[in-house]
Structure 1
């Protein structure tokens, strides 16, 4: 099936590993050119080179801290200089938190606000005018099931992801007149390197059976009784970017193996 993505330019944050890298590969497989954004230059360069060779597309890496205005500006300059704009923006960069509200200081709240919310605001604000000139575009936000069904141990993550979901909804009404479709995806348990790292750390003193630990998490939270793969989630992102999803506007989609317990 031709998804109408060949020759499109996609900007993906958090693109050097996990979900972001899987989405990048999915889009490249459909012929989209890529601007991969993350902080670690070596991983970015390796990913860009591999995807370019495997898929025959242009792929460049931009090493930048998008939690800062200067980092976002560097990305915007590279997109404009190298591609003359973008057609797709995937706001994926993010990380989990671990704290209590009573103990977390202002700096921690500010860090997550800048990474999960302001990076998305600044990138959308910077890229949307070019999308309009190119005839339209797609902006997708990777939030979390925690935006609607919070986990008790990461309140800052919960709050900022909920804000990202609301930003997505609000932005969609502002940009649809320019033929820019904005949607949000709330994944459940996705087996990223961060999950594996955490599981190994938590089981290091008890025998190191991190696989069983993760299976216990899946058994507790997901009726499907397993983690999803980044590739499974990426398929959904690619569909939402495509011309097969042109009536999807301002929605939030849960891809969670049945984890969400409300309607």
Structure 2
């Protein structure tokens, strides 16, 4: 299926590894030019160079921290300078947490709020006018199944991802007048390097069977009994950002192998 994305410009945060990198490659395979954003400059530059060589698209790396106003300003300036704006935004930068409500300091709450919520707000303020000038576009916010079905060990992650889901709905209502569609994706278990790193750490004193540990997680949480690959999620994301999904506005999509326990 031709998704009519050739020559479009996509801004992707958290783009140097895991889901973000898989999404970058999926867009590039459609002929989409990329502004790739992450904090690790060396890894990001290598990813951008590899994508440009493999797919023949323009892939511009921008090393910055989107949880800060200065980082978002750098992102927006790079989009203007290199492409004159953007057609697609995938807000993907984020990370898990581990705390209880009673022991987490204010600073940790505020840091996750800036990363998961304010980054999307600030990026919208910077890029939506440029998208409007190009005739519209799409914004997709990567929340989590935890926005609806929380995991007990990460209340800050659960709360800020739920806020991102509500922000998406409000963005959708406000931006559709400018022909900008906004949706949310709530992944379940996706086999990212973070999951593998955590599994290795948890099993290092008990034989090191990190794959067995991840299988136990999948068996417990997902009826499909496995993790998704980042590429499986990326295929769905690219479709949602294309004109083939043109009537999708303000929706939340669970891509979770059946993990959500409600209808």
Q: TM-score range by the shorter chain?
A: over 0.9
> Quick check: 1:144 aligned with 2:144?
yes
Q: Deviations over 1:32-80 (max 9, x none)?
A: 0000000001111111001111111000100001110000000000110
Q: Output aligned runs, 1:1-80, within 5 Å.
A: 1-80=1-80
> Quick check: 1:188 aligned with 2:188?
yes
TM-score by length of 2: 0.99
Q: Deviations over 1:185-221 (max 9, x none)?
A: 0000000000000000000111110000000000000
Give the SS at the match of 1:185.
strand
> Quick check: 1:241 aligned with 2:255?
no
Q: Output aligned runs, 1:1-263, within 5 Å.
A: 1-263=1-263
- Runs of at least 5 residues in structure 2 that lack an aligned partner in the other structure: none
CA drift at 1:243: 1.1
User: Which whole-Å CA distance do the structure 2 matches of 1:165 and 1:125 have between them?
Assistant: 17
User: Which whole-Å CA distance do the structure 2 matches of 1:235 and 1:81 have between them?
Assistant: 29
User: Which whole-Å CA distance do the structure 1 matches of 2:102 and 2:180 have between them?
Assistant: 40
CA drift at 1:2: 1.1
Give the SS at the match of 1:166.
helix
- Runs of at least 5 residues in structure 1 that lack an aligned partner in the other structure: none
CA drift at 1:124: 1.1
CA drift at 1:98: 0.3
TM-score by length of 1: 0.99
Give the SS at the match of 1:231.
helix
RMSD of the alignment, in Å?
0.4
User: Which whole-Å CA distance do the structure 2 matches of 1:228 and 1:236 have between them?
Assistant: 12
